[in-house]
Structure 1
């Protein structure tokens, strides 16, 4: 099944590790086979990893985009998720962490990233900031 992506002028995406920048007009891309794809808004830079949930999100993103470094990124994920679970008390947030871990175990990294984004809201409320 093909994936159709509409890009805004100047918008960036990463496809299998390659950064693609759209030109000065809106355009549409159609990916006909399986690929690891992240939109610019979903990419977290190392220097922006400054909260516990971002420390979980970042290695998942790297596992998704760079399978060669999987072992290193997976170790980081396990460490950070263990740390996060040790301080979360709210049952819904714990359940979401478990669901993220299950997605990672199943190789469903993009789904895990989407669930992590839901955790940003929870974290923002607890740390009193807007992500």
Structure 2
């Protein structure tokens, strides 16, 4: 996995926070958990149920020391969302995210949660829901998108 970072940009790697002082490319030669600064949300940005779920999942990557506690919080929040939403597309996507998390695919789960923000906003505002392609399903079953 190769990353390109701009000067001053941060990346969270296995719980460490790295900031580069100039444009740089980093290549990870083994399995590593990382999160780009642009994908990190702060506690004050957790203004919707999905953003709160995202925050719990991101903690697993940013702070491995409390990964189990964050995972329990994530599971409680996900169960609550599954019991609250009645939108079938949202429920389907949340179940696929749960499956990814059970397989230890936290990064893929974060990507899928971010893709649901628009649908969540439409549901919370009461507007008509569009049918979105299942990014979570494609992440679980890459052959489905071929």
Q: Which residue of 1 aligns with 2:45?
A: 48
In 2, distance between residues paired with 1:112 and 1:82?
Answer: 15
Offset, 1:79: 1.4
Matched length: 125
Q: What aligned pairs does 1:1-131 form with structure 2 within 5 A after superposition?
A: 3-23=1-21, 25-128=22-125
Deviation at residue 28 of structure 1 after TM alignment: 0.8
- Which is further off, 25-34 or 104-113? 25-34
TM-score (normalizing by structure 2): 0.78
Higher mean displacement: 69-78 or 99-108: 69-78
CA distance in 2, matches of 1:105, 1:66: 18
Q: Distance in 2 between matches of 1:43 and 1:6?
A: 17
Which residues of structure 2 form unaligned runs of 5+?
126-146
* Structure 1, unaligned runs of 5 or more: none
User: Following TM superposition, by how much is the alpha carbon of 1:52 offset from its aligned partner in structure 2, in angstroms?
Assistant: 0.2
Find the aligned partners of 1:70 and 1:15 in 2 and give their Cα distance. Answer: 14
Q: What is the deviation of 1:42?
A: 1.1
RMSD value over aligned CA atoms? Answer: 1.5
Structure 1 partner of 2:139: none
Shift of 1:99: 0.5
1:104 is paired with a residue whose SS is helix
8 Å contact kept, 2:15–2:61: no
Secondary structure of residue in 2 paired with 1:63:
helix
